[in-house]
Chain A
């Protein structure tokens, strides 16, 4: 079924009776060419691109709960390509290009809104670091503009330019940065994959990975054993537990990242704005809620709920940066589980087991990576070769120190990225 304005009007006249399930709920088959463990954004996108780009349709996505229930349904919805280290640059650039064609590709409105992102800086040193970043973005073929204080004032007049603790020296403006309706991304990929024959199986928890002689044979699940020639692990937030089923110990520590939304308000913040002297980034959803976030809660956790000190710290940053939102009320705060890696960059790689692949370690940058990760992971699973833009995301880079992508420069302490 194709979606369109015409169809919406037609269904309106006929009481919405014609709408079909967005994806089917099939029972698992005994065997697939490929099984994706994890029905989050990355897993669903992987399945979609396996089908679309590689013609691999005898594929199942196994999800222990409901699809899109992890970080794709629990983030601050920011989409950007503003990385500066080789390895990251080309990957996020590719991912952003996929975002730009996603709605037409999926025939699903994910409300990707390229409203522009401004990273503020507050010292000469920060300006130089952002200049390096912006120049790297342009070298990569993406867009960046270095704004001075007046330039920032023109587009963000509501910031506190006079009294803030850390004066605003300027900002790195990324016009193609923006937001998207996060849940819709999962549903859109699910629908696209389903339409191409992929089985999306919810409430199906993988409990074991069958390996014989160093070759993957399938998985054990709460809905029975499923054979598979290839298995991809895409379970950010639970990567360690699933990898352990294959005897792997990952360079990942799990941490909680909180996010917040206020009550609905009339349009007031038209961009994505990020503070440079404390973790705080904000945008306004199309529904009117201010959506914002901060730093990790800092201790390893699987609790998916945030602590009070970090909430306060985020509000503190909001008040020093943009005191005009003081009277907005926080409606809801939530926490997601982040796969934090020792260099803050992800992993898309083969494993020591033949036919077993892993896509993990997205830290708190996984949402914008959904299309790129799915595309590159599908490429790796289908062809056995690393997709060029994601070729740097190797597991052994930590052991060997080759090609580390430490954008924050904070080193091998997982929670500092």
Chain B
């Protein structure tokens, strides 16, 4: 029922029925105004549930918003803003909210107590996965995902400030005003749609004017300050190290064109002030979960802020003076107060309504909504007709953020609540209700004073002026659970009641963590915000301990649930990782090459030609280019590291197993690099361009790792060496030109002709290409006479086009990764398929490359007995010699007559190729004592692909073992 006619309304639907609401008010308010009581079903027993709170802590009224890919489950109707055309659906009910078949669970509840599932569903064994679990899964869960990929926009952002103030109630506003006036760079964040906190809910004066007016005036003053940023709809969700906070902003206006739905903020603050307020807690009494039973403060919110009466005859049940203001406000709004029930004996309440002191609610009635309650008091029991019960078990300070860094809160007996333990979060101080100061006057004062301290700490000179306000006392006498029959709900969301907690204690789940895990108390979407303190009070009682001794469970982020899409904003689709493109990318794509991922890079797989229907045809042709004519391949993705300085040679000697100080200027050498633990890290060639100038190449995969390793070596292990290193991977475009006609091709593009006498195998130096200074390396990863030609990246595209066009005129052309792989396998060259982090120089037959004349990284550890054991698996070549010619990578090797089982394993294959050159299937692999077993025939078994082949063990260099082609 609305208390005043609204100025304008919009229409929205709930479960298909149309309702009117005021734009911006919570859906919960609009539903209450329309007299809708039943809005949800509970998790386990599918009990009818209504609206309980007026904030993000809502336990019951969870709904799904929208449909299709836009559908968003588990939205709190208490924070969901009404807008035109909004579609809202109830959850966890079938076939309808009113008639929910699963409500049968409630009838079965005597058998479904805490943890019953640990004790049954074990027989017969296969039934768990086939029957019991699917039934349990279907019954569980709340809302459902659409199953469709997200289509909405979400964002992430960073912000920095001097002071982050969390919560904009009276304490937060005063804190912002004080810090802002002192000149601090302030962010004030509040999760509500409007700032003001309790001032928007309570009927109180501040500085002689109504609370909401004072709040509006203060917000206007803050808005006028350039050094203050105001963030509404922004919940600070987590406190992290060194003043970093996570915050979720719901962008105003649902799905407004072009705007993201949510933004996840990373806020870095020198200091923070928590002014998060307090949450009212329920009281456990029999059937305290019927629609119509709400928090007293929520009733005041709906009446005072939203102009909606949640009932026609409201009863108040509380254990503290604060609850009484509910009756006062209802009367002022013209809503009937059916009764005020206070469990305390010594209270004085004035009002034109029945007051029962020393009284408790002991029963409630009403199937889908509250109709009547029974109270017991000194005079016996009494039935009261009431459609709304406002309960207040007192207030829990919102200490959550102060406890996210492993700190625990402190029990304060006089308010029967936990309060923040100072210093729990470095840089964070607390003020107001979250600190246990419950009156508006105390909030204003603490906010101002705490902010002044913070500002002073930042070197500013704040002034403190505190407005006058209500300072009535909060007297409370703890009441957790009312004695008597019936289920007294504590965790409304997970359907945990008092008896569940007592059963947990009975079964020795006495630790608060055990109780939580056994009963699921506090594990629902609200994470026990409202219920945990009640639950542990009941546990304390059941175990005969005090509440502080019982302790709390661990507080964990986020404070309110955060959508995966918000925290993962920007990563959907390609955004997950950068895309690195070579200079030949466009030319390769234009030639129809499928581009495949190589780490973050994209490289051409092969270059199809007309008439080719299978990648193998293209690949074989490209291999023949290189073996018979000339091929061109972009190798720019290999890491290139420029190393300069008087210590450059010594640095290389230390990171490589072999020696580079003896390398002549103008020469290149293959180098093997170990990790300090003696295993191979990477390999590649390094060229000496000058006395103090080298260029190292790394594999594509290990480029970043090697760069880091070199810096580590230089700064941590050998700061005595005077050298500097720089990654130049992106500065140079580099192309392999490989094959018998490679020199001819180069001579067709270089400004000055090269001859073999000046450019022997492993030579390097400067060359000019069409007037551009480049670098030429006579190195080969194909086993052919080959070069790599590098030019500044801006010329890469032109050079690639030029080289490929020229290659075609020599009967060759571009080749891709597939051909490159075949060529290197034919030559027995390793990649990270072989040097996969577990192989040693010994394993790949390169132990002789570990110089004995000098120390190098990994040398000592490589000599550990286990790393040079003859029984180790060593690199071998494998040739198909049986009827089956197809070899597969990842297959295992066995003796011919041995069963393919682990105990008989001899090794495995790492890389395979069909060699068009040798016209057979080839594989590289590792075999126990492999280097001594050449000529042996083994069985290769690939269970997964159902392939078995006979293979002959041979040297890993299948083609041109003498290397004459590369040197010639």
Contact = CB atoms under 8 A, between A and B. Distances in A.
A–B in direct contact per CB < 8 Å: yes
Interface of A: 3-5, 7-9, 11-13, 15-16, 19-25, 65-69, 73, 86, 89-90, 103-104, 107-115, 122-125, 127-136, 138-141, 144-146, 158, 160, 163-167, 181, 183-184, 187-188, 202, 262-268, 277-278, 284, 286-288, 303-305, 307-308, 311-312, 314-320, 323-334, 342, 397, 399-404, 406, 408-412
Contact of B517 (A73, A113, A122, A332): A73
Contact of A334 (B241, B266, B556): B556
B123 A5 contact: yes
Interface in B670-711: 675-679, 681
B512 to A, nearest CB: 9
Interface stretch (B9-17, B363-371, B737-745, B887-895): B887-895
Contacts of B556: 305, 332-334
B117 A109 contact: yes
Given A165-B577, A332-B527, A73 B837 contact: no
A327 B71 contact: yes
Contact of A12 (B111, B527, B575, B679): B111
Interface string B587-610: 000000000111000000000000
B890 A329 contact: no
B493 to A, nearest CB: 9
Contacts of A409: 836-838
A135 B890 contact: yes
Contacts of B384: none
Contact of B837 (A128, A324, A411): A411
A266 B139 CA distance: 8
B514 interface: yes
Interface in B104-144: 110-113, 116-123, 125, 128-129, 133-134, 136-138, 140-144
A303 B406 contact: yes
Interface of B: 43, 71-74, 110-113, 116-123, 125, 128-129, 133-134, 136-138, 140-150, 152, 154, 156, 238, 240-241, 244, 246, 264, 266, 404-406, 499, 503, 506-511, 513-514, 517-518, 520, 523-525, 527, 554, 556-558, 561-565, 567-577, 579, 596-598, 675-679, 681, 832-833, 836-838, 861, 864-867, 869, 888-892, 900-902, 905, 908, 910-911, 941-945
B507 A412 contact: no
B151 to A, nearest CB: 9
Contacts of B112: 12
A20 B520 contact: no
Given A135-B942, A262-B564, A320-B573, A308 B836 contact: no
A308 B238 contact: yes
Contact of B865 (A90, A131, A268, A400): A400
B575 A326 contact: no
Contacts of A8: 111, 116, 119-120
Given A263-B525, A266-B141, A334-B556, A329 B561 contact: yes
Given A163-B574, A287-B520, A129 B890 contact: yes
Contacts of B838: 404, 406, 409
7 contacts: A8-B111, A9-B111, A21-B508, A128-B890, A131-B891, A284-B137, A319-B564
A265 B517 contact: no
A305 B150 CA distance: 29
A22 B507 contact: yes
Contact of B866 (A135, A333, A397): A397
Given A104-B125, A320-B576, A111 B133 contact: yes
Given A122-B597, A141-B902, 8 more contacts: A111-B133, A131-B944, A160-B573, A287-B140, A308-B244, A323-B149, A327-B565, A401-B867
A144 B944 CA distance: 7
Contacts of B679: 411
A286 B122 contact: no
Q: Is chain B's binding surface mostly helix, strand, loop or mixed?
A: loop
Given A73-B517, A139-B905, A327 B572 contact: no
Contacts of A25: 508, 510
A399 B867 CA distance: 11
Contacts of A139: 892, 900-902, 905, 943
Given A287-B520, A305-B405, A316-B571, A330 B562 contact: yes
B48 to A, nearest CB: 18
A117 B320 CA distance: 54
Contacts of A165: 573-577, 579
Interface centre among B514, B571, B892, B900 (most CB of A within 10 A): B571
Nearest to A288: B141
Contacts of A20: 507
A111 B944 contact: no
Contacts of A183: 517-518
A226 B155 CA distance: 58
Given A22-B507, A138-B943, A265 B120 contact: no
Contacts of B836: 129, 409
A228 to B, nearest CB: 24
Contacts of B517: 68, 73, 183
A146 B112 CA distance: 41
B513 A69 contact: yes
B910 A401 contact: no
Contacts of B569: 319
Contacts of B901: 139-141
A127 B833 CA distance: 11
A120 B794 CA distance: 37
A131 B555 CA distance: 42
Given A131-B945, A266-B138, A401-B866, A329 B572 contact: no
B615 to A, nearest CB: 11
Contacts of B122: 3-4, 103-104, 107-109
Given A130-B890, A327-B73, A412-B677, A187 B118 contact: yes
A164 B576 CA distance: 8
Interface centre among A24, A69, A314, A329 (most CB of B within 10 A): A329
A132 B908 CA distance: 7
Nearest to B514: A66
Nearest to B867: A401
A325 B943 contact: no
A146 to B, nearest CB: 4
A67 B118 CA distance: 17
Given A5-B121, A131-B944, A263-B142, A286 B43 contact: no
Contact of A138 (B147, B572, B944): B944
Contacts of B514: 66-68
B955 to A, nearest CB: 22
A23 B565 contact: no
A145 B507 CA distance: 43
A408 B837 CA distance: 8
A324 B150 contact: yes
Which 9 interchain pairs have the tightest Cβ spacing? A409-B837, A131-B890, A288-B141, A326-B565, A315-B568, A401-B864, A401-B866, A326-B150, A402-B866
Nearest to A112: B128
A333 B574 contact: no
A245 to B, nearest CB: 24
Contacts of A188: 118
B605 to A, nearest CB: 9
Nearest to A265: B141
A109 to B, nearest CB: 5
Contact of A320 (B511, B575, B944): B575
A174 B186 CA distance: 53
A262 B147 CA distance: 15
Contacts of A23: 508
Nearest to B894: A139
Contacts of B246: 308, 311
B675 A265 contact: no
A12 B110 contact: yes
